[in-house]
């Protein structure tokens, strides 16, 4: 049946309207798509080009060359040496086990290091290189290079690694570097990206740690082209980094080596300080250790030996340890009393061998007593009772104030690790720290450097330098960084009465040059280099009444770790001071026997710059000193040969 014309026209209108609507929608969609394509291809072309470039090109960091460290005369203390290693790319190697087997016939592979490398290969992408042998020799590298066709995926490489040519001589001062740990990263709010480079090394202790950012330098960068899976195709360009700053220390490598050799295996420390500018010419702790072992990755056995050694080779005794200063503190007590006007140098105190204070008997080291003692005599013969009497007159607060002005109780920022502030106690300190009242017996003990008083060898050297010069000189270990000198601090007068200081100096001269002086046995004969010093002995245990009644056991009859510490401080020359020296021998017994001879030998070595003539020593000592010089000379020559081979 045919449709009516009216119905046909209506259908045509509906179809045309729908077509127009559909066409409009299609046209709108095409227009929107066109506008979007214009936005992406034209308006955002640069942005997407950059994104594409970043997917194709990677920027990789180049580790900077670490700055070197030198002594005051340019002797290398920390340097960088070529470090050869062998890497392997797993996907290029194919059968890793077969390649490792062939490689092991050419190069000796450490089993632990190899197992670590294999485990790293499993974790890493197959195209990334993994180190399978580190610190191999040039001969090893040569053999691998010659046999390269038989070693697919194996590549010999060269980098830089830290080396310490003088080994243990500067271990405590310079420190060492090691791989970056999570603990190292936690020290920085925003860690330098270079610290995340695998096996990158960072300063762990000492100067290496304290001046890490100066020594590290700034990383360079290289642009490499990579494919879709991240494999490097080629290097496009390279920008070398900025090397770390070189540093020069104030120490004298020759003197430092002598001190270490002179101390031998003693548990001891020595500080030598230039009194005119604060330069630390020597700062040695004994025994020491080889920092190169830490750079290479110290073995468990080697670290255990160092950790368990009762002489504590890992400790920086010169700055980290604090000891009762013993009789070396008596100059502070005397100066505090004179400055307070409670005693004159010629006033005497009677020493019967003890003093009764608060119902307790405080003994002098000389049981029979010294009799009448004035200032010079009391320091010369180290009479304890004289200083008990002074302390009761002047009080602990005045003594503590004087001690702090001479550098005790202060942590000097010289760049070494774990620098102690020691302890200079007073009434407020005991109330705050011990929740107890200060007792009169505490004052008596403090007057002779016992009780709560603690000081480091560095602080004792500073104290001695300030006594010698009357200036507030401060110690300096770093001489320059990147060629820029660091300032000398504290050349102004301390403001003490010069006459009082002269009285102290004269008494210290008598200690070393008067026949009754406690250090007379370690005197210097050469007039131009005579020394002024003070011995000290600090107890590490209390002597009971029962022990005194039956006669106190001699130090040498006690176990080593129960013996007294031996101390000696001095400056020289007496007429024109140039250096100050402090010596502490742990559990060495008496200061006059164990510490003073070391102090004299080190002083003369520093003043002469070489082995001093035998004429500088007393006649009776010359034979022994000659043998000692020959023995130490052989040790130092062997060390120099070893250092030269490492430099």
Q: Where are the beta strands (DSSP E) in 250-337?
A: 268-274, 280-286
Residue 520 makes CB contacts below 8 A (sequence gap 6+) with 511, 512, 513, 514
pLDDT at 551 over 70: no
Per-residue model confidence (pLDDT) at position 129: 73
Whether residue 382 contacts residue 365, with contact meaning beta carbons closer than 8 Å, is answered with yes
Per-residue model confidence (pLDDT) at position 297: 78
Cα gap 459→269, rounded to integer Å: 12
Banded pLDDT at 90 (limits 50, 70, 90): confident
327 annotated active-site: yes
Residue 515 makes CB contacts below 8 A (sequence gap 6+) with none
Banded pLDDT at 51 (limits 50, 70, 90): very low
Banded pLDDT at 620 (limits 50, 70, 90): very high
Q: How many Å is the Cα radius of gyration of the chain?
A: 36
421 C-beta neighbours (distance < 10 Å), count: 15
240 sits in the region (left: phi over 0; alpha: psi -120 to 50; else beta) called beta
Identified catalytic residue from 267, 316, 327, 382: 327
Task: Tell me whether strands 176-179 and 354-357 are parallel, antiparallel or unpaired.
Answer: unpaired
pLDDT at 452 over 90: yes
Strand-pair partners of 268: 286, 585
Per-residue model confidence (pLDDT) at position 363: 93
Cα gap 542→441, rounded to integer Å: 14
Cα gap 153→301, rounded to integer Å: 34
In this structure, what DSSP letter does residue 191 have?
-
324/544: higher pLDDT: 324
Whether residue 226 contacts residue 58, with contact meaning beta carbons closer than 8 Å, is answered with yes
Write phi, then psi, for 273 (nearest 5 degrees). -130, 135
Helices and strands, number each (H, E), in the chain: 24, 21
**Tokens for 101?**
């087997």
Cα gap 574→277, rounded to integer Å: 17
Of 255, 141, 163, nearest in space to 208 by CA: 163
Per-residue model confidence (pLDDT) at position 410: 95
Share of the chain above pLDDT 90, in %: 62
**Tokens for 134?**
């580190």
138 C-beta neighbours (distance < 10 Å), count: 11
Of 330, 440, 337, 344, nearest in space to 394 by CA: 337
Banded pLDDT at 544 (limits 50, 70, 90): low
| DSSP codes, 319-380 | TT--B--GGGGHHHHHHHHHHHTS--TT--EEESSEEEETTEEEE-SSTT--EEE-HHHHHH
Residue 480 makes CB contacts below 8 A (sequence gap 6+) with 247, 248, 486
Whether residue 503 contacts residue 376, with contact meaning beta carbons closer than 8 Å, is answered with yes
Cα gap 463→218, rounded to integer Å: 40
- What value does the mean pLDDT take over residues 383-411? 97
Banded pLDDT at 115 (limits 50, 70, 90): confident
Strand order through the sheet with 232-239: 57-62, 220-226, 232-239
146-178, pLDDT tens digit by residue?
888 888 888 887 778 899 999 999 999 999 998
In this structure, what DSSP letter does residue 592 have?
I
Per-residue model confidence (pLDDT) at position 6: 59
Cα gap 598→592, rounded to integer Å: 10
Write phi, then psi, for 581 (nearest 5 degrees). -130, 140
Cα gap 330→446, rounded to integer Å: 9
Domains and CATH numbers, the chain: 60-249 (3.90.1310.10), 253-302+318-646 (3.40.710.10)
pLDDT at 463 over 90: yes
Banded pLDDT at 496 (limits 50, 70, 90): very high
pLDDT at 42 over 70: no
pLDDT at 366 over 80: yes
210-237, pLDDT tens digit by residue?
999 999 988 887 776 666 545 556 667 7
286/197: higher pLDDT: 286
């Amino acid at each position: 049946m045919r449709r009516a014309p009216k119905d046909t026209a209506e259908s045509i209108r509906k179809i045309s309207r729908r077509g127009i609507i559909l066409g409009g929608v299609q046209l709108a969609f095409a227009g929107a798509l066109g506008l979007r394509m214009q936005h992406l291809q034209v308006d955002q072309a640069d942005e997407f080009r950059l994104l594409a470039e970043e997917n194709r090109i990677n920027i990789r960091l180049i580790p900077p060359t670490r700055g070197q460290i030198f002594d005051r005369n340019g002797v290398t203390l920390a340097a960088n040496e070529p470090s050869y290693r062998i890497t392997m790319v797993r996907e290029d190697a194919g059968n890793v086990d077969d390649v490792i087997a062939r490689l092991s016939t050419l190069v000796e592979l450490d089993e632990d290091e190899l197992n670590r490398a294999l485990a790293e290969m499993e974790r890493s992408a197959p195209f990334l290189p993994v180190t399978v042998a580190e610190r191999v020799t040039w001969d090893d590298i040569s053999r691998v290079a010659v046999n390269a066709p038989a070693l697919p995926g194996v590549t010999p490489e060269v980098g830089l690694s830290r080396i310490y040519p003088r080994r243990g001589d500067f271990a405590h001062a310079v420190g060492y570097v090691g791989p970056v740990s999570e603990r190292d990263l936690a020290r920085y709010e925003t860690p330098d990206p270079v610290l995340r480079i695998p096996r990158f090394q960072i300063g762990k202790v000492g100067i290496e740690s304290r001046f890490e950012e100066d020594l590290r330098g700034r990383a360079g960068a290289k642009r490499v082209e990579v494919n879709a899976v991240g494999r490097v195709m080629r290097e496009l360009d390279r920008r070398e980094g900025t090397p770390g700053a070189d540093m020069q220390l104030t120490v004298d490598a020759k003197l430092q080596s002598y001190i270490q050799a002179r101390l031998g295996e003693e548990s001891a420390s020595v500080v030598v300080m230039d009194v005119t500018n604060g330069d630390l010419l020597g700062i040695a702790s004994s025994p020491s250790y080889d920092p190169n072992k830490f750079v290479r990755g110290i073995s468990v056995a080697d670290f255990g030996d160092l950790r368990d050694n009762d002489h504590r080779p890992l400790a920086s005794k010169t700055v980290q340890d604090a000891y009762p200063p013993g009789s070396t503190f008596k100059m502070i007590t005397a100066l505090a009393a004179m400055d307070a006007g409670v005693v004159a140098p010629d006033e005497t105190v009677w020493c019967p061998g003890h003093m009764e204070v608060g119902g307790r008997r405080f003994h002098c080291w000389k049981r029979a007593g010294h009799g009448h003692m004035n200032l010079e005599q009391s320091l010369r013969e180290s009479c304890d009772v004289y200083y008990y009497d002074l302390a009761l007159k002047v009080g602990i607060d005045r003594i503590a104030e004087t001690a702090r002005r001479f550098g005790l109780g202060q942590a000097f920022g010289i760049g070494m690790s774990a620098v102690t502030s020691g302890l200079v106690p007073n009434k407020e300190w005991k109330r705050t720290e011990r929740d107890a009242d200060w007792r009169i017996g505490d004052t008596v003990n403090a007057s002779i450097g016992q009780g709560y008083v603690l000081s480091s060898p560095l602080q004792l050297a500073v104290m001695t330098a300030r006594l010698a010069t009357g200036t507030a000189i401060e110690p300096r270990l770093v001489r320059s960084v990147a060629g820029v000198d660091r300032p000398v601090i504290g050349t102004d007068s301390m403001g003490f009465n010069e006459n009082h200081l002269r009285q102290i100096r004269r008494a210290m001269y008598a200690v070393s040059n008067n026949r009754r002086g406690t250090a007379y046995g370690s005197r210097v004969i050469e007039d131009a280099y005579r020394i002024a010093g003070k011995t000290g002995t600090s107890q590490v245990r209390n002597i009971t009444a029962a022990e005194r009644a039956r006669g106190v056991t001699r130090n040498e009859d006690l176990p080593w770790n129960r013996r007294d510490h031996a101390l000696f401080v001095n400056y020289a020359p007496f007429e024109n001071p140039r250096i100050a020296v402090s010596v502490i021998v742990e559990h060495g017994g008496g200061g006059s026997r164990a510490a003073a001879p070391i102090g004299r030998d080190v002083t003369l070595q520093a003043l002469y710059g070489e082995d001093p003539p035998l004429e500088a020593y007393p006649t009776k000592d010359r034979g022994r000193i000659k043998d000692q010089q020959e023995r130490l000379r052989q040790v130092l020559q062997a060390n120099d040969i070893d250092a030269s081979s490492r430099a």
